[in-house]
Structure 1
Amino acid sequence: MTSGLEHLGVPVGPMVRVGGGYANRLYRLDTEQGSFAVKELNLADRRVTYHVDDVFRFERAAFAAGIPMPEPVSADRGVLVHRWVEGEKVPEAPVSEAFAFEIGEILARIHALDVEWTHGVADEPTAWDWAELAERARATGQPWADELASRVETFLAIARFVDGCERPGPVVLTHKDIQPWNLLAREGRPVLLDWELSGLLDLSGELGSTALSVAKGPGLDSIEPAVFRAVLDGYVAGGGTLPPSGPSWFVFMIGGWLGHTRWNILRCLAGVEASTGPDLALSQESALNGVRGLPALFERLPDLETLLP
């Protein structure tokens, strides 16, 4: 994949694939001009359209405004390049209140940027074919097939919630995917990675998804309310205004996870190692996590609303 990367300088070693990547594939390339993160976008079966020019313009504006993030270098239809940033991985566990507060401040600064966006809100169509997927999973011997079959009615209830939940607004141009695996800690402070899902989103959905993601562990048994609220306090301190409380704060997270689970289920049902996107083993892991975790998250929705102001 080094073809088309000549503008980055002469390589001083082979390009190395970096582990992880729930949707795309990431490599590190060291050249005479420095170190770069080269992301190969999965265009074969993306869930939503990627607006490369608009995202790159948004990233450039955010970087110029001092948002802590890797410098965006170049972007075309299939490859994104950023300066490599050294930092510590953020574990999937509650962060410190100070770290959460700063994430809230950063979000407020991002939402204050004046950047043209030529597309509407990119809502992924809600899937209703869970019974069919469960049958196909059993027919192909998927390890999570029985669990999916036993939860079909719950997945249909989740789909009804996603389709029917009212979003109060306002709509903001934002990152849309602030999760522990899209963050680094540099000298104890957050750095935002992976901006390619950026776009317009109801503010409550962005705040709820972000705050819950950094306030909990892999499950829902270790939610720290003080960390959740620290994100909101930071947002207000950064000049933002909180939207009304309600289930809309969590519908984006639930809907996004629903779509991500179905996408990985389909990759597992295909049963072949795709040439782009996550490896089949990672899709199996993501499918199982969704089949087990989404119903648990949905059932805890009343408890989650007690976190809201």
Structure 2
Amino acid sequence: MIRVHGGFANRMYRLDTDQGSFAVKELNLGDRRWTYHVEDVFRLERAAFVAGVPMPEPISAGPNMLVHRWVEGEKVPEAPVSAAYAFEIGEILARIHALDVEWTDVSIEDPPPRDWPELAERAAATGQPWAEELAAHVETFLAIAHFVDTCERPGPVVLTHKDIQPWNLLARDGRPVVLDWELSGMLDLSGELGSTALSLAKGPGFDDIEPAIFRSVLDGYVAGGGMLPPSGPSWFVYLIGGWLGHTRWNILRCLAGVEATTGPERTLSHESARNGIRGLPDLFRRLPELETLLL
């Protein structure tokens, strides 16, 4: 197997055989942020694949290893996609949400982390390169945690992918291929739509958001038979909460001071921690501006 670098949570390998090429994913079980519901996710993947959702064929799933057929395609850069690509993503979401798949997991979402003062102290004591920035934003991170904890989700709750972002997509002949379904589960519809539409409508920061691309995702969702939920901050709370948890997870990996044997390399954890420490306060500050995308 040949290592394919760049994963934010797990480790990926390519395996070429006389029966074709396969993507073999080694799941990070050492410090995983959530329980991976193997049977539920594999059932959803099989149903989505049979329904024609453009994705790698799921081959097998075990407690620490996933196998899919390898799919060739171009990586999707962190930049606004084309209107046609965004529209098709909306249609794909509507198709996924319409699937009739049994989901046995009834886990309750953990409250957002509030130990930011302690993390800032540990970062300063261990000389982390982003320690000063974290200390300067502690109050903002506490405010973000409060927002995530108290923001009302209007529903409905749908069974969905939960992580359709540029790094989980390919472009094949200019059309989407959806990768990495491990995070799949139940989610408030507004959070799924807002996270997906925003990620496809912007670049690395929040200065070049293209409202037309954001709307194209929603137009595609409606064209695919979906109904849009009410407007409001709930459209962005899942994105903010997920990024908050991901940032904290990477901070803890950096504070450990050793190279982990599973999951992302330490250098990538440092990059992810720094990006979250800088990007989350900016995203939170822009919430009123983002809500205008829904008008």
Give the TM-score taking structure 1 as reference length.
0.95
Given the alignment of the two structures, is residue 308 of structure 1 paired with residue 294 of structure 2, yes or no?
yes
Could you tell me which residue of structure 2 aligns to residue 225 of structure 1?
A: 211
Structure 1 Cα separation of the partners of residues 278 and 269 of structure 2:
14
Q: Helix, strand or coil for the counterpart of 1:242?
A: coil
Identity of aligned residues (%): 81
Structure 2 Cα separation of the partners of residues 85 and 150 of structure 1:
43
Could you tell me which residue of structure 1 aligns to residue 63 of structure 2?
A: 77
Structure 1 Cα separation of the partners of residues 68 and 242 of structure 2:
25
Q: Helix, strand or coil for the counterpart of 2:294?
A: coil
2:31 to 21, 32, 45: 45
The AA in structure 2 aligned to 1:94 is P
Structure 2 Cα separation of the partners of residues 231 and 21 of structure 1:
25
Could you tell me which residue of structure 2 aligns to residue 57 of structure 1?
A: 43
Q: Helix, strand or coil for the counterpart of 1:307?
A: helix
Given the alignment of the two structures, is residue 264 of structure 1 paired with residue 250 of structure 2, yes or no?
yes
Give the TM-score taking structure 2 as reference length.
0.99
* Runs of 4+ residues over 4 Å off in structure 1: none
Could you tell me which residue of structure 1 aligns to residue 125 of structure 2?
A: 139
Aligned alpha-carbon RMSD (Å) = 0.7
8 A Cα contact 1:121 1:200, kept in partner: no
CA drift at 1:19: 1.5
1:239 to 225, 244, 260: 225
- Mapping of 1:255-294 within 5 angstroms? 255-294=241-280
Could you tell me which residue of structure 2 aligns to residue 158 of structure 1?
A: 144
Could you tell me which residue of structure 2 aligns to residue 26 of structure 1?
A: 12
Could you tell me which residue of structure 2 aligns to residue 186 of structure 1?
A: 172
Cα deviation digits, residues 43-70 of structure 1 (max 9, x gap):
1111111100000000000000000000
8 A Cα contact 1:124 1:259, kept in partner: no
2:158 to 172, 187, 193: 172
Structure 1 Cα separation of the partners of residues 140 and 157 of structure 2:
29
8 A Cα contact 1:122 1:200, kept in partner: no
Could you tell me which residue of structure 2 aligns to residue 124 of structure 1?
A: 110
Structure 2 Cα separation of the partners of residues 163 and 255 of structure 1:
9
8 A Cα contact 1:211 1:229, kept in partner: yes
Structure 2 Cα separation of the partners of residues 275 and 124 of structure 1:
26
Structure 1 Cα separation of the partners of residues 293 and 282 of structure 2:
17
Structure 1 Cα separation of the partners of residues 27 and 178 of structure 2:
18
Runs of 5+ in structure 2 lacking a partner?
none
Structure 1 Cα separation of the partners of residues 131 and 206 of structure 2:
23
Aligned residues: 295
Cα deviation digits, residues 220-267 of structure 1 (max 9, x gap):
011000000000000000000000000000000000000000000000
CA drift at 1:121: 5.8
Structure 2 Cα separation of the partners of residues 50 and 266 of structure 1:
20
Structure 1 Cα separation of the partners of residues 123 and 13 of structure 2:
32
Structure 2 Cα separation of the partners of residues 61 and 40 of structure 1:
23
2:237 to 239, 251, 254: 251
CA drift at 1:36: 0.2
CA drift at 1:122: 5.0
Could you tell me which residue of structure 1 aligns to residue 88 of structure 2?
A: 102
